[in-house]
């Protein structure tokens, strides 16, 4: 597939982009490391340069505060002239790499609350607790913020930036004014839709007045408000976008989500949300406004992007996390090297979850990515040629072993990947058998195909043993043999009706009228959905007071939304006491109850597969040995396994 439309140029006003791929703004938290916590850093420049060199058509710098009093730390700012030099330096570097740059102008509304020193600005009074209500913005501050947008645009132009994007989505102040679900004002800035449009339109006019005629203006806008009473309808959004077009907006970046409700799941949509979920709303908005349009949201393959453009549903395509996962995404797709792309799987572990953690934990500098440990460490963690080629024996053909082999090969080493079973991919493949997680399975298969394409030596049905290490005499060993299930000491746990969770997910044909799943972690809930999808009535038994404890916020929301559609009952604060032929005895709140069960699935966790004999063999022979992933400690996230494997490959 040639992806001719995706990689064709497009001209917007006087700016020509080399292709239709846009990396939209993504918070990195990297600016927290700067002098005042709001400036461009060298790491941020290297991050954007890598994506420009990788072929991206337009890099959008993350949200930039326009108003100094409400500018939180950990987010970029353009609220003062002192921020111009950093922006200029970033822009020049991206231009030298062949790319183009957009800056997203932002007033964060409620979202700036992550910094207690930042002023929260809302259109009208909002109670945050019984003791505290955030007062609505005053008329004077309304005018000052409008002016701030205009002055921010002036600074962006002075920095040599190619595109300005106005953020009018996700509960930030312009969207909050526009939405009837948030704006409760009774003066000329609220009430009717005509009044609610005034503030964002005034911001657009102030921005446009400070831009050259030939410079494009983009706008990020929600296609609708979900789960928000009185919120925006798509008809209102279309009406507003027509007005925005008249005011000087050229391109609509169609998004979705708000932080006031569970609809926040749509902002950085996890694997639970369908691919391209904004495409059809964006296509309608495009038809009815006549404006250039680009949808975002779970568009992670070049095939999908090309199809959207060829069906004339959009003019550009937002592929942001796709380029977190692989900065060379565009170049690889254009060259047809599809197996070599490290595809975003929508896990949210390194991007959204890490960003939230960064706001609370100063030891975490910035976001990362499960598929790409070098995010924002493009210089410090680059795969540079090794000083000396070495033979490296890798035990385990799961995703950690595959990624270690890939990194080692690219550094010039000779990896030998040994897998005890007959296929590669390990638990990543099994995870892909769970509902909505096909991206995991596809990523594992393509990663395996990639190392085959490279010519990596792969030996299946070959467990690594002390004898194999002695025979091969490798220069280094990486142990990535994963974990095995914990089987609890419960009467009846060895009966015929009991199956371990991973074995169940590996089966294609499963039939059970009534099933009980012991364990309400991620794997347990995936098993519950897997069985419910095949017609079973499922009860999940969890000792703790909640399920899905290891999941981040958005994946947890997505999973709960899906579970609500299935025949799944969850019992928390409940202990399994005994398993019998057709029932499970549990205790909840000091009382025993019986659960009918044709099938019982154990999903209470895992422990590392023992590898001390391999480690001892390496120590005796003086061979450097690296234990990674669940083989080191279990259970953990795939992000941990891949990052440890990558660092091991860098160390050899």
Q: pLDDT for 488-519, tens place per residue? A: 999 999 998 999 998 998 887 787 789 999 99
* pLDDT tens digit sequence for 216-258: 999 999 999 999 999 999 999 999 999 999 999 999 999 999 9
For position 70, what pLDDT does the model report? 98
Q: Are 329 and 54 in contact (CB under 8 A)?
A: yes
What percent of the chain stands above pLDDT 70? 100
Strands 21-23 and 317-318: parallel
581: pLDDT confidence band, cut at 50, 70 and 90?
confident
Q: What are the helix (H) ranges across 97-216?
A: 139-158, 173-178, 193-196, 198-209
Q: For residue 592, what is the enclosing H or E element? A: strand 591-596
With a cut of 90, say whether residue 444 has pLDDT above it. yes
483: pLDDT confidence band, cut at 50, 70 and 90?
very high
- Average pLDDT of the segment spanning 620-626: 98
Provide CB contacts within 8 A for 599, sequence distance 6+: 497, 499, 510, 512, 514, 515, 516, 531, 536
For position 511, what pLDDT does the model report? 75
Q: Are 549 and 521 in contact (CB under 8 A)?
A: yes
- Average pLDDT of the segment spanning 253-272: 97
β-partners of residue 391 are 414
For position 334, what pLDDT does the model report? 98
Q: How far apart are CA 400 and CA 350, in angstroms?
A: 16
Provide CB contacts within 8 A for 182, sequence distance 6+: 122, 123, 124, 126, 171, 175, 176, 228, 231, 260
Mean pLDDT of the chain: 96
Q: Hey, what are 22's tokens?
A: 């846009």
β-partners of residue 295 are 254
195: pLDDT confidence band, cut at 50, 70 and 90?
very high
User: What are the residue numbers of the active site?
Assistant: 172
With a cut of 90, say whether residue 578 has pLDDT above it. yes
Q: State which fold the 10-360 domain adopts.
A: TIM Barrel (3.20.20)
Q: Hey, what are 116's tokens?
A: 């207690």
- Average pLDDT of the segment spanning 542-546: 96
SS3 72: coil
With a cut of 80, say whether residue 1 has pLDDT above it. no
Q: Which CATH class is domain 391-485+607-651?
A: alpha beta
Q: How far apart are CA 302 and CA 41, in angstroms?
A: 31
With a cut of 90, say whether residue 129 has pLDDT above it. no
Q: How far apart are CA 77 and CA 156, in angstroms?
A: 11
212: pLDDT confidence band, cut at 50, 70 and 90?
very high
- Per domain, the residue ranges of the chain are 10-360, 391-485+607-651, 498-604
- Average pLDDT of the segment spanning 403-411: 98
Q: What would the CATH number be for the domain defined by 498-604?
A: 3.50.50.60
Q: Are 340 and 450 in contact (CB under 8 A)?
A: yes
Instruction: Find the range with the poorest average confidence among 63-67, 375-379, 528-532.
Output: 528-532
b/e map 424-461, b = 16+ CB within 10 Å: bbbbbbbbbbbbbbebbbbbbbbbbebbeeeebebbee
For position 54, what pLDDT does the model report? 98
Tell me the CB-side half-sphere exposure of residue 495, using CA atoms within 13 A: 17
């Amino acid at each position: 597939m040639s992806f001719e439309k995706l990689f064709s140029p497009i001209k917007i006003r006087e700016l020509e982009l080399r292709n239709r791929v846009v990396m939209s703004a993504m918070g990195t938290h990297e600016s927290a490391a700067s002098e005042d916590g709001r400036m461009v850093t060298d790491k941020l420049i290297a991050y954007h340069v890598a994506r420009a060199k990788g072929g991206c058509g337009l890099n959008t710098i993350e949200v930039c505060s326009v108003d100094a009093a409400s500018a939180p730390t950990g987010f970029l700012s353009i609220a003062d002239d002192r921020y111009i030099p950093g922006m200029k330096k970033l822009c020049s570097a991206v231009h030298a790499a062949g790319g183009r740059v957009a800056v997203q102008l932002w007033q964060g509304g409620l979202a700036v609350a992550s910094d207690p020193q930042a002023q929260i600005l809302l259109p009208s009074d909002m109670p945050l607790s019984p003791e505290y209500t955030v007062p609505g913005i005053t008329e004077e501050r309304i005018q000052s913020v409008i002016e701030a947008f205009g002055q921010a645009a002036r600074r962006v132009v002075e920095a040599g930036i190619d595109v300005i994007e106005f953020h009018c989505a996700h509960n930030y102040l312009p969207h909050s004014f526009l939405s009837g679900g948030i704006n409760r004002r009774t003066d000329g800035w609220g009430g009717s839709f005509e009044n609610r449009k005034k503030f964002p339109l005034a911001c657009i006019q102030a921005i446009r007045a400070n831009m050259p005629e030939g410079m494009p203006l983009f706008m990020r806008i929600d296609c609708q408000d979900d789960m928000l009473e009185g919120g925006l309808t798509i008809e209102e959004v279309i009406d507003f976008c027509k007005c925005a077009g008249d005011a000087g907006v050229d391109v609509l970046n169609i998004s979705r989500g708000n932080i006031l409700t569970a609809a926040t799941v749509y902002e950085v949509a996890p694997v639970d949300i369908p691919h391209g979920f904004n495409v059809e709303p964006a296509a309608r908005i495009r038809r009815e406004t006549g404006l250039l349009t680009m949808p975002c949201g779970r568009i992670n393959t070049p095939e999908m992007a090309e199809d959207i453009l060829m069906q004339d549903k959009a003019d550009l395509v937002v592929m942001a996390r796709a380029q977190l996962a692989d900065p060379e995404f565009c170049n690889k797709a254009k060259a047809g090297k599809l197996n070599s792309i490290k595809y975003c799987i929508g896990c949210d572990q390194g991007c959204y979850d890490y960003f939230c953690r960064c706001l609370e934990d100063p030891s975490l500098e910035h976001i990362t990515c499960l598929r790409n440990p070098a995010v924002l460490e493009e210089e410090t963690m680059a795969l540079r040629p090794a000083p000396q080629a070495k033979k490296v024996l890798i035990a385990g053909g799961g995703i950690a072993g595959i990624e270690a082999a890939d990194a080692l090969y690219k550094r010039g080493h000779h990896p030998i990947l040994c897998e005890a079973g007959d296929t590669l991919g390990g638990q990543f493949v099994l995870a892909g058998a769970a509902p909505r997680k096909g991206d995991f399975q596809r990523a594992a298969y393509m990663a395996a195909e990639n190392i085959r394409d490279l010519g990596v030596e792969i030996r299946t049905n070959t467990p690594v043993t002390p004898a194999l290490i002695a025979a091969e005499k490798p220069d280094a060993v990486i142990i990535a043999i994963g974990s095995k299930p914990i089987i609890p000491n419960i009467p009846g746990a060895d009966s015929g009706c009991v199956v371990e969770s991973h074995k169940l997910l590996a089966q294609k044909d499963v039939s059970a009228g009534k099933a009980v799943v012991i364990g309400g972690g991620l794997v347990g809930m995936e098993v519950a959905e897997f069985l419910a999808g095949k017609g079973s009535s499922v009860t999940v038994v969890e000792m703790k007071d909640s399920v899905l404890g290891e999941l981040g916020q958005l994946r947890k929301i997505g999973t709960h939304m899906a579970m609500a559609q299935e025949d799944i009952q969850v019992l928390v604060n409940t202990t399994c006491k005994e398993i019998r032929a057709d029932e499970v005895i549990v205790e909840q709140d000091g009382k025993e109850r019986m659960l009918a069960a044709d099938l019982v699935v154990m999903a209470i966790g895992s422990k590392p597969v023992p590898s001390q004999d391999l480690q001892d063999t390496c120590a005796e022979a003086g061979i450097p040995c690296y234990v990674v992933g669940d083989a080191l400690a279990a259970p953990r996230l795939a992000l941990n396994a891949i990052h440890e494997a990558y660092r091991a490959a860098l160390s050899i």
